Chain A
Amino acid sequence: MAADPEVLTPLEQPPPRSRWPLALALSLAAMLLVGFGSAAVLARLGRPFVATPFDATASAGATGADPANLRKHAVQAEKELEKVYPKGVYIVVDAYRNRLHLVKNGQIIRSAVCSTGTGILLKDPRNGKQWVFDTPLGERVVERKVKHPVWAKPDWAFVEEGLLPPTDPNERFDDVSLGDYALYIGDGYIIHGTLFKSLLGRRVTHGCIRLGDEDLEFLYRHAPIGTRVYLY
């Protein structure tokens, strides 16, 4: 039976192909090319930080190569180190952790929580004078020890509170703030007691080292005048 051409369904023409995806892909490729190219150019201009291993191989030995001479130098250096090495009783203060250790013959015989300097810088509005409230670093010596110490308040103690320093020296004396004992370590720095024991363990002082009552008494009794103090 012949097919009726009238009823033949005309062949469906495929829809015209869209060129958008191709254009999009080409655009993207072009953008990537330009972007990457620009980035590559910029990267050539840049100098990024690059890490290389630290070469710890010794490369300097100024003492000379003669073994006998080297040995002599080494013995001399060792003697010098032994001469200054801390001996007997000494005090170590960790100003970051706020810890004080009393050491005897290399053994810690007392550890205490202390308070150290804030590190704050105070400016006097009258003349621009500045004070830095750091606990000093390095080696110091217990220069003197005092029971029931009296504090002659320096200018900064008033300036800090917004007060004019008094002209009458009698108005500077304070027989309470330092506690029962004081160990003077030079330049006005003192290891002393405190009224505010809850602040022990914090950096709240003007550079002095504050201790609790019992620790201060122990230190007063066991650290003679001349005791070295190492602060870091």
Chain B
Amino acid sequence: MHRSALACISISLAALGARAGDVPPDPARVAALELEAGLAKRPFVYLVLDPQRRVLEIKARGAVLDTVQLTGIEIISQQPLLTRDLPGRPPIPAVWTVKNGPGDTDREIVAPKELRPAPKEDEAEAEPTPAETPTGPSPTPTPISVPPSSYRSRLANGWDLWITDRLPPQSAVGTFLAAVRDGWRRLRGLGEDHPPAVTLAMADDDARRIHHLMRTGTAILVAGEL
């Protein structure tokens, strides 16, 4: 967070590099700055993916709240084994928006079957309630499921964003076997095509801690060479 001001300013100075000298500003950098200014107007948290520095920043109002270091960035797509047709390159800079993410759906549900009347103050309660100043052992909290370290979010542009703690191995044998498996599934009518996935690899704890940010509407500014 100490770096937040510096990070914000660094974008601006990069864009305005020409102010001191006569070098014209980079159009892409100015476009990224404008996109971020648009995002920062709203009272929401947004993410900034900087593939050059391999970081994903969690920001609000232009300030960096937290930074996630990436260990890899790949586009993972389904392609025929021999005749590869590389997926189209997404334009950069751009704002991607999460259309449907695990932060919306991965929830534990608590649903009592029926409700009973609350006991009156002067009535004996059916169940013990915590004392005002508890002295004994603390109550056991409802166990919270740990977020997964690998999950996909669907983006509004039709692509997927795959957060994972490891990129899939890409050995020749592994790819061949994967193709055989997929071919067998397709032979049985089970195979399906997935959209290309921008895959961000990071430490497993980092993957877990941004899980709840992948909700509908979360904006991700993708800006190269900031």
Contacts and interface: CB of A to CB of B under 8 A. Distances in A.
A85 B39 CA distance: 12
A142 B25 CA distance: 40
B152 to A, nearest CB: 12
Contact of B60 (A71, A107, A139): A139
Contacts of A230: 45, 60-61, 63, 65
A95 interface: yes
A24 B112 CA distance: 66
A171 B212 CA distance: 35
Contact of A119 (B32, B191, B212): B212
Interface in A168-202: 171, 176, 195-196, 198-199, 202
B34 to A, nearest CB: 5
Contacts of B168: 49, 51
Interface string A123-161: 111100000101001111000000000000000001111
Contacts of A65: 27
A84 B212 contact: no
Interface stretch (A3-11, A39-47, A211-219): A39-47
Contacts of B65: 92, 94, 230, 232
Contact of B224 (A57, A118, A166, A196): A57
Given A78-B16, A132-B107, A162 B186 contact: no
Interface string B152-170: 0000000000000001101
A70 B23 CA distance: 11
Contacts of A96: 208-212
A21 interface: no
Interface string A97-135: 100010100111000000000111111111000001010
Contacts of A106: 1-2, 4-5
Given A77-B37, A139-B44, A166-B118, A85 B63 contact: yes
B219 to A, nearest CB: 11
A123 B115 contact: no
Contact of B209 (A53, A97, A123, A124): A97
Given A96-B208, A163-B117, A52 B62 contact: no
B93 interface: yes
A20 interface: no
B178 A137 contact: no
Contacts of A67: 18, 24-25
A12 interface: no
A1 interface: no
Interface in B34-73: 34, 36-37, 40-41, 43-45, 51-52, 58, 60-63, 65-66, 73
Interface string B132-166: 11100011011010000000000000000000000
Contacts of A92: 1, 65
Given A51-B74, A108-B2, A232-B65, A122 B141 contact: no
B45 to A, nearest CB: 5
Contacts of B184: 42, 45-46
10 contacts: A50-B78, A58-B29, A58-B92, A85-B5, A120-B109, A122-B109, A163-B115, A195-B134, A202-B144, A230-B61
Cβ-closest 10 pairs across A and B: A61-B27, A58-B28, A46-B183, A56-B51, A46-B182, A42-B183, A67-B24, A45-B183, A46-B179, A139-B43
